Amino acid sequence: MTQNTEFDLTKHTVRELNAALHAAEEGSFTVLNTGGAHALACGLNAPLEVTLKGHAGYYAGGMNKEASVVVEGNVGTGCAENIMSGVVRVMGDASQSLGASGHGGLVVCEGSASARAGISMKGVDIVVGGDVGHMSGFMAQAGRLVVLGDAGADLGDSIYEAEIFVRGDVVSLGADCEQKPMDPAHVDALGALLRQAGLDADPASFTRYGSARTLYNFHIDNAGEG
């Protein structure tokens, strides 16, 4: 049985917490009294299990590799920014730029996420149980953004080869983003991702969006689209 180590942020600093996490090669950690502190559980590079008991500030779980980070509360800007692998799960809501520039792994937000969720994503899978704000999926290059609720304005603006799946309504699509066919293979793959994320939804009820590819090469007729 893996031993659990507790850190109480009324007794330890964030620097002490992150130093201990960086030094560990395995194990389970519980962080108490998080108090919305910034940069919690950042830069992990081992198969750790970290539970943050409360709200977290900016960049919680940022630059994650291999670890599983669970936030039992809300998170601020840039949660799971530049994630490489592993899982970051938010049991509450997320501020802007959830999973920004993520290269791999899985990010789950059980609540809603604010603006620019999945901005410049490069291979990460992001699943949001509620809504996402405006400019989500902006310049998304690879990976999947899944939204069980609604999406704000300019969804997928300047998107490359990432895929976006939305079950609810979309206020508007951004430049070069269009609705795509939802084939049986897409339904099956989305269903597997939803199961991995632990969120219950019918994959056939989603609409798929992706790049129209009109902005890949400069053309004078598209000059006003970006």
Count Cβ neighbours within 10 Å for each residue of 113-132 and write b for 16 or more, e otherwise.
bbbbbbbbbbbbbbbbbbbb
Weakest mean pLDDT among 84-88, 124-128, 208-212, 215-219:
215-219
pLDDT of 211 over the 60 cut = yes
**pLDDT at res. 219:** 59
**pLDDT at res. 3:** 80
The secondary element (H helix, E strand) that includes residue 4 is strand 4-8
- What average pLDDT score do residues 126-152 get? 98
Residue-by-residue DSSP string for 87-147: EEEESS-B-SSTTTT--SSEEEESS-B-TTTTTT-EEEEEEESS-B-TTTTTT--EEEEEE
Contact 61, 69 (CB under 8 A): yes
Average pLDDT value for the chain: 95
Contact 6, 27 (CB under 8 A): no
Tokens 């992150």 belong to residue: 18
pLDDT of 221 over the 80 cut = no
pLDDT digits 0-9 by tens, 36-57: 999 999 999 999 999 999 999 9
Contact 122, 142 (CB under 8 A): yes
DSSP 188: H
pLDDT digits 0-9 by tens, 74-116: 999 999 999 999 999 999 999 999 999 999 999 999 999 999 9
In which band, very low, low, confident or very high, does the pLDDT at 1 lie, cut at 50, 70 and 90? very low
The secondary element (H helix, E strand) that includes residue 27 is strand 27-32
pLDDT digits 0-9 by tens, 163-175: 999 999 999 999 9
Beta partners for 50?
Answer: 29, 69
In which band, very low, low, confident or very high, does the pLDDT at 215 lie, cut at 50, 70 and 90? confident
d(CA 95, CA 21): 24
The secondary element (H helix, E strand) that includes residue 181 is none
- What average pLDDT score do residues 127-144 get? 98
pLDDT of 226 over the 60 cut = no
d(CA 160, CA 172): 17
Cα 142–Cα 144–Cα 150 angle in degrees, nearest 5:
130
**pLDDT at res. 214:** 86
Contact 176, 225 (CB under 8 A): yes
**pLDDT at res. 115:** 98
d(CA 156, CA 162): 9
Tokens 């560990």 belong to residue: 24
In which band, very low, low, confident or very high, does the pLDDT at 225 lie, cut at 50, 70 and 90? low
- What average pLDDT score do residues 21-34 get? 97
- What average pLDDT score do residues 14-19 get? 96
In which band, very low, low, confident or very high, does the pLDDT at 222 lie, cut at 50, 70 and 90? low
pLDDT of 144 over the 80 cut = yes
